[in-house]
C-alpha cells in the first residue's frame, strides 16, 4: 500500500528558467516518494486522507548544492585575506588531515550534514578528504540523516603535502572499496573525485576514468578556476589542448554524469566540449569572488545551452546556505552587466539553477510537479504585513534575507526530516 | 557616584585601519558611559567591583551604519529584478506614503529598530520619510530603545509622485520643528536630509543649508550613485561644475558634519572637495551591486585620506546586518582587484570602516580604549573546536558566517540593551 502524503500551501517552483510557476493554496499529493498531482482542489478520492495544511506558508523545492567540501567545513569564513596556496597550506590541508581521524570526522560531519538540512540543502555533491575512513564516516552521516548526496573520496597523488597525498594504487583501491560498499544506496552515492588536474597524474586520471566506466559512477572535479591554475595545468599536461580536455581524454568528462566546479575561464572549444558531453557546471559565486578567480559568465553559458547548477563551495565560499548562493549568483551577474555589458540573471534563473537544474543531477527532482520525487521546503516567512506582497515577492524576500528560522519543514523523498 | 561597569573577555578592535588590537582575557573598565581602562590585569582599586565575565567570548565595538532608509525597511529583498525608477515607483514610494500613518509607522519602525539592535548596529544614520509625524515616530522608537541615531525627515519637492512631495516652505518648517524638538537629545539627533539633488531645487537646498548652519545640524544625502543620475543632476543644475558642488554651494557639504552615500563615480575635483570638507562617504556595497551602480573604489579613497564608513542602505541593500556589509565591502574590493587591478581591502580595513570610522561620526566611539564611550558587542561564536582558531580567525568567522544568535550582549553608552 502506498504511503500518501498531502501538503497544502502556496506552491512555487520553476519549470523552466524563464519564469516561476505559482499555485496559491494548492495541494501536493505524493504516493510514497513520488508526486502524483499538484492541484488547486483536492480530488474526491483523497478527501478521506490527512492533509498537512501549512496555511499561509510557501512550499518550494529543496536546494541542491552541486559543489562543496565537507572536509573544509570547519574552515568557513577564515583565512579570507590569504592567497589560494597560502590558504590551502595554512588551513585546508591540516584540517583535511585531522579528518582522517574517525572520531573527529564523525563530529565535524555531523555538524556539516545537520547544517545542510537546517538551511534547506536536500542534496549535496561533496568532497570529503583523501581518507577512506573519514570518507566512510561522511557516507554514514548522510545515510543516517536521510539526505541525498554524492560523496567523493578525494584522490590526490602529487603537488600537496606528503601527509595527505596517496600512492596511486592505494588511492584507486580504496576508492573502489568505497564504490563497492555504497554504490547501491538509494540516496547517498559514491562519486569519482580527482581533486583537480594539478594533484593528479595522467596515470591516476586514467585509472579513475576506468573505475568510473567499470562501475558507471559519476565524476566531479574542479575546472578552470583561475588563470594561474590554468597555466599550471598546461605545464603539467603539455600534450593536452586545454584544461577541459585533460579530463576528457581520461574518460572523466561526460562518459558518466559529470560535474565540473567553477569553469570561470572556458575557451569556446571547452564550452563546446562541456555542452556535447552534458557536463554540469557548478557555479560557485562566493568562492570565485573570495579567492579572486573572476566571475563566470553564467548567463552566456545558459544561452549556449550548457547545464549550470550552483555550489556553495564551502570553504572557498563561506556560506553553506544555498539561498545566499542564489543571491550572489544574481549579484555576480549584475557586476558583469556593469563591467562587461552582459545581460544579468533574473531571480527565476538563479532559483532554477539551485533547484531544478541542480536537482536533475540527482534524479527527477527540483520541481513540484507530477512525476517528480517529493523533496520540498516549507517557508514560514517572518515578515510584517504579508498582505503587501505577492507570493513571488515573499519568495524573493526569503532568498535575500531569510534564514533557517524561516524554514519550518523539510521533506526528502516524501519523508519529513528533522534538524537536530 | 559613577556607575562602574567591568567586562571581561577577549577584546578586539581596530585603532587604525591597518591592523587589529587583540587582548586575550582582558578587562574593560567603564565609569558611566566612558571607558577608563582596558587592561590585562584588574587594577587593585576595582577588585571589590562586580566583573561581568564573558569567558571565552569576544568583545568587539558595535557597528555603525552610516546610511540606510528606515522608511524602506519593509521592502528589503523585494523587487531586485527591477530597474531603479521602476523599483521606486512600484515599491518604495507607496511604502513611504503608508509610513505617514502613525500607527503603521510605529509598528514598522519598532521592527526596524529592534532588528538594528538584534544584529549589532548600535548607531544608524537613517532616512525616515517626508512625513513629519512618521519621522517623529522613528525618533521616539530610537529613544525608547536607547540606541544611537541620526534621523532625517526626508525633504523632496519635485521629481517624485505628488502624494509624497511637499511644498518647499512646509518642508522647511516641519524640518525645523523636528530640529527644535530633538536637537538636545543625548543619543538620537536630527540630521538635515535632502533626498538627493534631483528631488530638490536650488531654493530648497539653499533653505536646508541655512537650517543646517543656523542650528549646527549634520547633513546627509546621496551622491554620485550611478551615471544616469549624475547626468540628470547636470541637467537640473546646469551652472554647477559637478554633482558634489551642488551640495557644496548650498552649504550642505562640510559646513556641518556631512555624510554622502554611495560616491561610486567621483571625479578628482569631487574627491578633493570631499576630502577638504571632511565629508564622510558611506560605502554601500550590496546596494551598489543590486541596483547596478558599479563599485566604489574604496581602497583608493582610503589611500587618498578620505573618511569612509559603511552603510547597509536598506532597501537598495537587502541586509540590515553590518557584518554582511563588511564582507561585501571586502568582496567588492576583490572584484575591483580582478577587473581594474586595484589593491583589495583587508578584514581589518573593512572592520575599521564599520566600527571606528563610522563610530567617529557619532562621537568618541568605535574603539575599545580609554576615553571612548562604551558601546560593545559580546560574541559567543557557535563553532566547533574553537581551540583550532586564533581570536582573529574567530572574529573573521563571525563576520563571514555569524548571525544574531552569536551576539549575546549589546552595550550602548555603558548600558546593556535588550532585543525584544
Q: How confident is the model at residue B70, as a pLDDT?
A: 98
Average pLDDT over residues A17-32: 97
Average pLDDT over residues A310-318: 97
Judged by CB atoms closer than 8 Å, whether chains meet at A77 and B337 is answered as no
Distance from CA of A350 to the nearest CA of B (A): 12
Distance from CA of A265 to the nearest CA of B (A): 13
How many percent of chain B have pLDDT more than 90?
A: 92
Q: How confident is the model at residue B340, as a pLDDT?
A: 87
Give per-residue pLDDT as tens, B292-314.
Answer: 999 999 999 999 999 999 999 99
Chain B nearest-CA residue for A79: B393
- Residue that wins the pLDDT comparison between A259 and B419: A259
Region class of A341: left (phi > 0), else alpha (psi between -120 and 50), else beta: left
Q: What is chain A's mean pLDDT, rounded?
A: 96
Q: Helix, strand, coil: what percent of chain A each, to 5?
A: 40, 25, 35
A345 touches chain B (CB under 8 A): no
Judged by CB atoms closer than 8 Å, whether chains meet at A295 and B335 is answered as yes
Half-sphere exposure of residue A416: CA atoms within 13 angstroms, side-chain side: 11
Beta strands in B108-226 (DSSP E): 121-127, 148-152, 154-155, 188-190, 193-194, 219-223
Residue A65, pLDDT above cutoff 80:
yes
Residue B90, pLDDT above cutoff 90:
no
Q: How confident is the model at residue B33, as a pLDDT?
A: 97
Indicate the residue of B318, B334, B338 with minimum beta-carbon distance to A400. B318
Indicate the residue of B318, B347, B389 with minimum beta-carbon distance to A401. B318
Beta bridge partners of B12: B22
Q: How confident is the model at residue A405, as a pLDDT?
A: 97
CB B28 within 8 A of CB B383: no
Interface TM-score (ipTM) > 0.90:
yes
Q: Helix, strand, coil: what percent of chain B each, to 5?
A: 40, 25, 35
Q: How confident is the model at residue B1, as a pLDDT?
A: 79
A78 touches chain B (CB under 8 A): yes
Beta strands in B346-392 (DSSP E): 376-379
Best of A384, A386, A391 to mutate (most B CBs within 10 Å, chain B):
A384
Beta bridge partners of A222: A261
Q: Which of 87-106 (A) contact B at CB < 8 A?
A: 95
A385 CB neighbours in chain B (<8 A) are 74, 108
Q: How confident is the model at residue B206 (pLDDT cuts 50, 70, 90)?
A: very high
Give per-residue pLDDT as tens, B357-409.
Answer: 999 999 999 999 999 999 999 999 988 898 889 999 999 999 999 999 999 99
Give per-residue pLDDT as tens, B1-52.
Answer: 789 999 999 999 999 999 999 999 999 999 999 999 999 999 999 999 999 9
Q: How confident is the model at residue A1, as a pLDDT?
A: 79
Q: How confident is the model at residue A342 (pLDDT cuts 50, 70, 90)?
A: confident
Q: How confident is the model at residue A81, as a pLDDT?
A: 87
Instruction: Enter the C-alpha cell of residue A290.
Output: 573570495
B80 CB neighbours in chain A (<8 A) are 330, 347, 396, 400
Q: How confident is the model at residue B198 (pLDDT cuts 50, 70, 90)?
A: very high
Average pLDDT over residues A378-393: 93
Burial of B176 (0-12, 13-18, 19+ CB in 10 A): middle
B108 touches chain A (CB under 8 A): yes
Q: What is chain B's mean pLDDT, rounded?
A: 96
Give per-residue pLDDT as tens, B256-274.
Answer: 999 999 999 999 999 999 9
- Residue A24, classed as helix, strand or coil, is strand
Give per-residue pLDDT as tens, B217-251.
Answer: 999 999 999 999 999 999 999 999 999 999 999 99
DSSP string, B169-195: HHHHHHHHHHHHHHTT-SSEEE-BEE-
CB B18 within 8 A of CB B303: no
Q: How confident is the model at residue A420 (pLDDT cuts 50, 70, 90)?
A: confident
Q: How confident is the model at residue B84, as a pLDDT?
A: 74
Quote the CA–CA distance of A296 and A273 in Å, as a whole number. 17
Q: How confident is the model at residue B202 (pLDDT cuts 50, 70, 90)?
A: very high
Residue A91, pLDDT above cutoff 90:
no
Residue B133, pLDDT above cutoff 80:
yes
What domains are defined for chain B? 4-61+366-416 (2.30.40.10), 63-362 (3.20.20.140)
Indicate the residue of B95, B330, B401 with minimum beta-carbon distance to A319. B401
Cα angle A395, A397, A400 (rounded to 5 degrees) comes to: 110
Q: How confident is the model at residue B420, as a pLDDT?
A: 82
pTM of this structure: 0.98
Residue A84, pLDDT above cutoff 80:
no
DSSP string, A295-358: ---HHHHHHTT-EEEE---BTTBS---HHHHHHHHHHHHHHHHHHS-PPPPPHHHHHHIIIIIH
Q: How confident is the model at residue A306, as a pLDDT?
A: 97
Instruction: Enter the C-alpha cell of residue A291.
Output: 579567492
Average pLDDT over residues A354-369: 98
Judged by CB atoms closer than 8 Å, whether chains meet at A396 and B80 is answered as yes
Instruction: Enter the C-alpha cell of residue B77.
Output: 529583498
Distance from CA of B268 to the nearest CA of A (A): 21
B81 CB neighbours in chain A (<8 A) are 346-347
Average pLDDT over residues B309-329: 98
Average pLDDT over residues A140-163: 96
Q: How confident is the model at residue B319, as a pLDDT?
A: 98
Q: Which of B298, B308, B223, B307 is nearest to B262 (CA)?
A: B223
Residue A83, pLDDT above cutoff 90:
no
Q: How confident is the model at residue B342, as a pLDDT?
A: 84
Best of A20, A80, A285 to mutate (most B CBs within 10 Å, chain B):
A80
Q: Which of 7-36 (B) contact A at CB < 8 A?
A: none
Half-sphere exposure of residue B49: CA atoms within 13 angstroms, side-chain side: 20
A74 CB neighbours in chain B (<8 A) are 383-385, 388
B399 CB neighbours in chain A (<8 A) are 77
Chain A nearest-CA residue for B77: A397
B400 CB neighbours in chain A (<8 A) are 76-78, 80, 318-319
Q: How confident is the model at residue A382 (pLDDT cuts 50, 70, 90)?
A: confident
A399 CB neighbours in chain B (<8 A) are 77
Distance of CA B369 to the CA centre of its chain: 21
Q: Which of A130, A144, A160, A10 is nearest to A70 (CA)?
A: A130
Quote the CA–CA distance of A29 and A42 in Å, as a whole number. 9
Average pLDDT over residues A180-199: 97
CB A392 within 8 A of CB A11: no
Report the range of poorest mean pLDDT among A152-156, A228-232, B81-85, B357-361.
B81-85
Residue B320, pLDDT above cutoff 90:
yes
Average pLDDT over residues A336-364: 95
CB A416 within 8 A of CB A147: no
A339 CB neighbours in chain B (<8 A) are 339
What element of type H or E holds A289?
A: helix A285-290
Average pLDDT over residues B198-225: 98
Amino acid at each position: 500500500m502506498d504511503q500518501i502524503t498531502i501538503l497544502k500551501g502556496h506552491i512555487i517552483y520553476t519549470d523552466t528558467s524563464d519564469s516561476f510557476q505559482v499555485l496559491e493554496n494548492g495541494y501536493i499529493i505524493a504516493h510514497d516518494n513520488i508526486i502524483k498531482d499538484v492541484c488547486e482542489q483536492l480530488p474526491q478520492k483523497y478527501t478521506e486522507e490527512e492533509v498537512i495544511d501549512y496555511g499561509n506558508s510557501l512550499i518550494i523545492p529543496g536546494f541542491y548544492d552541486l559543489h562543496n567540501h565537507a572536509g573544509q567545513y570547519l574552515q568557513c569564513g577564515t583565512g579570507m585575506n590569504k592567497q589560494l596556496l597560502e590558504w590551502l597550506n595554512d588551513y585546508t590541508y591540516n584540517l583535511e588531515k585531522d579528518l582522517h581521524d574517525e572520531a573527529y570526522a564523525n563530529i565535524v560531519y555531523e555538524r556539516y550534514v545537520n547544517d545542510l538540512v537546517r538551511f534547506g540543502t536536500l542534496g549535496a555533491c561533496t568532497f570529503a578528504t583523501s581518507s577512506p575512513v573519514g570518507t566512510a564516516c561522511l557516507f554514514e552521516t548522510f545515510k543516517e540523516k536521510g539526505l541525498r548526496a554524492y560523496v567523493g573520496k578525494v584522490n590526490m597523488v602529487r603537488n600537496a603535502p606528503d601527509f595527505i597525498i596517496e600512492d596511486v594504487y592505494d588511492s584507486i583501491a580504496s576508492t573502489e572499496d568505497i564504490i563497492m560498499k555504497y554504490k547501491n544506496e538509494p540516496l547517498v552515492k559514491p562519486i569519482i573525485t580527482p581533486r583537480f588536474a594539478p594533484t593528479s597524474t595522467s596515470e591516476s586520471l586514467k585509472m579513475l576514468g576506468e573505475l568510473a566506466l567499470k562501475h558507471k559512477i559519476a565524476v566531479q572535479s574542479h575546472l578552470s578556476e583561475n588563470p594561474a591554475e590554468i597555466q599550471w595545468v598546461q605545464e603539467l599536461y603539455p600534450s593536452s589542448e586545454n584544461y577541459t580536455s585533460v579530463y576528457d581524454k581520461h574518460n572523466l568528462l561526460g562518459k558518466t554524469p559529470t560535474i565540473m566546479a567553477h569553469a570561470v575561464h572556458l575557451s569556446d572549444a571547452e564550452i563546446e566540449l562541456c555542452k556535447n558531453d552534458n557536463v554540469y557546471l557548478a557555479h560557485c559565486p562566493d568562492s570565485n569572488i573570495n579567492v579572486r578567480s573572476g566571475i563566470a559568465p553564467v548567463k552566456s553559458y545558459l544561452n549556449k545551452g550548457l547545464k549550470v547548477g550552483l555550489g556553495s563551495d564551502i570553504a572557498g565560499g563561506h556560506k553553506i546556505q544555498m539561498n545566499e548562493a542564489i543571491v550572489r549568483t544574481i549579484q555576480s551577474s549584475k557586476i558583469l552587466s556593469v563591467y562587461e555589458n552582459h545581460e544579468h540573471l533574473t531571480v527565476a534563473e538563479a532559483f532554477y539553477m539551485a533547484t531544478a537544474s541542480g536537482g536533475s543531477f540527482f534524479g527527477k527532482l527540483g520541481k513540484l510537479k507530477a512525476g517528480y520525487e517529493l523533496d520540498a521546503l516549507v517557508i514560514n516567512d517572518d515578515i510584517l504585513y504579508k498582505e503587501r506582497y505577492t507570493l513571488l515577492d515573499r519568495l524573493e524576500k526569503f532568498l535575500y534575507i531569510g534564514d533557517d528560522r524561516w524554514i519550518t519543514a523539510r521533506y526528502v523523498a516524501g519523508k519529513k526530516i528533522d534538524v537536530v
